[in-house]
Amino acid sequence: GTLNVRPSITMGISMYPVDGDTFAKLLSRANTAMRYAKSAARGTYRFYAGEMSRINDDQVALENDLREALERNELELHFQPKVDIATGRVRSAEALLRWRHPTRGMVPPNVFIPVAEETGLILPLGEWVLRQACRQLREWLDAGMSPVRIAVNLSAKQFHDADLAAIVRSELNDARLQPGYIELELTESALMCNPEESARTLESLSAMGVHISIDDFGTGYSSLSYLRRFPLDKLKIDRSFIRDLLVSADDACIVRAIISLAHSLRLRVVAEGVETHQQLEFLRELGCDQYQGYYCSPAVPADQFVALVARLRAQMPELTEADMLKTQSRLSAFVPQTSGQ
Ligand code: C2E
Ligand code: MG
Ligand code: MG
């Protein structure tokens, strides 16, 4: 097939002599203006302006701190349950990265993940997340907690890293976990920018037994033929469609359509950002399989998560390991072995 590449140019402009009288200064300010333009939109340009310098200094300081965050043990994972709508069971949990900065306090991922992506730090950071998720699971299983799958977010850079499958395999091995304990969340844009390569990567992960979901579904664009080709387990409907579900007829239509699309592709559907009982009941009527959201719980630190699951599971029948390991992937040649753990 043909590959459609659409290059775009983003430009930053500085002017002699107002922005600087040396080449180095002009270049650095043009660079600042370019970063600024990039954060606004692709394919645009900006002239350097004085206040950009301050914003840029903040950015550089944040980058430097982030480089050290790993060594200084400032990162932690919080966990948010994904709940079966029909039974109320907690089947899995999403690991969400938190950065406890010594002076800035909690830095939200929406602030530091883009910085990590831009600087390439996302690779070591993402590897840490995967390792920590596996270690945490091993610790919980050893302590006798009933099985739960952990979903890890992958950024596009990580997904396109040639070492991804090897890294996943080695972290699973180190923690002595069956691959079905891990789910990877990818965005539409990460998957669709090079769908042939994505298909190969997904196939090797899925054949290993790892589960795959599409995150923030509906906000990017997906090719339907690839949706069918990719070995996926679930679609996660973006929070923005759930927020106004009860007041916006358009959003209700979109949610209904995503659920029916997912089910006809034999995928499960998860609604993100469910905050009220009414939203949950509506999703139940629409046949949505699982939900995640403050209505059940926000993401909480590991110790609180154990208590939360114990409380939620007190009323539920136990989830068996075989049940948890079930996959929707068409590569379901993978048969979970009975646990020797
Ligand atoms: P996401 O993967 O779509 O994660 C869901 C976000 O929605 C989380 O925000 C979660 O705390 C929030 N959320 C969950 N339930 C509700 C709700 O009922 N109402 C509202 N208003 N929000 C809810 P968070 O933790 O701030 O993460 C934001 C984004 O940062 C994530 O979006 C994900 O794209 C990224 N991210 C987080 N951790 C990682 C990571 O380890 N690696 C990578 N690559 N990205 C990560
Ligand atoms: Mg996610
Ligand atoms: Mg999401």
Spatial CB neighbours of 248, under 8 Å, sequence gap ≥ 6: none
Give the 3-state secondary structure of residue 151. strand
Could you tell me the pLDDT band of residue 333, with boundaries at 50, 70 and 90?
very low
CA 49–ligand 2 middle distance (angstroms):
36
Q: What is the mean pLDDT of the chain?
A: 91
Alpha carbon distance 34, 19 (integer Å): 14
What pLDDT shows up at residue 1?
Answer: 57
pLDDT per residue as tens digits for the range 306-321: 999 988 877 666 667 8
Alpha carbon distance 46, 30 (integer Å): 9
Q: Which of 44-53, 122-131, 162-171 shows the lowest mean pLDDT across its residues? A: 44-53
Ligand 1 nearest-atom number relative to CA 187: 34
Nearest CA among 92, 217, 79 for reference residue 149: 92
What pLDDT shows up at residue 96?
Answer: 98
Ligand 1 nearest-atom number relative to CA 97: 38
Pairing outcome for strands 211-217 and 182-187: parallel
pTM score of the predicted model: 0.84
Ligand 1, pocket-test mutation among 76, 92, 96, most atoms within 8 A of CB: 96
What pLDDT shows up at residue 340?
Answer: 40
Phi and psi dihedrals of 45, rounded to 5? -140, 160
State percent of the chain over pLDDT 70: 94
Q: Does the pLDDT at position 334 exceed 50?
A: no
Alpha carbon distance 195, 186 (integer Å): 13
CA 338–ligand 3 middle distance (angstroms):
32
What pLDDT shows up at residue 341?
Answer: 38
In angstroms and rounded to an integer, the radius of gyration of the C-alpha atoms of the chain is 22
Alpha carbon nearest to ligand 1 atom 15, residue: 293
Q: Does the pLDDT at position 61 exceed 60?
A: yes
- Whole-angstrom CA distances from 252 to 132, 216, 227 are 37, 16, 22
Mean pLDDT of 119-147: 96
pLDDT per residue as tens digits for the range 66-117: 999 999 999 999 999 999 999 999 989 999 999 999 999 999 999 999 999 9
Pairing outcome for strands 234-237 and 211-217: parallel
Alpha-helix runs per DSSP H in the chain: 23-40, 50-69, 109-119, 122-142, 156-159, 164-174, 188-192, 195-208, 224-229, 239-243, 249-264, 277-286, 302-314, 321-325
pLDDT per residue as tens digits for the range 228-267: 999 999 999 999 999 999 999 999 999 999 999 999 999 9
What pLDDT shows up at residue 6?
Answer: 72
Q: Which residues surround ligand 2, an ion (CB under 5 A)?
A: 153, 185, 215
Of 338 and 141, more confident: 141
Alpha carbon distance 305, 92 (integer Å): 11
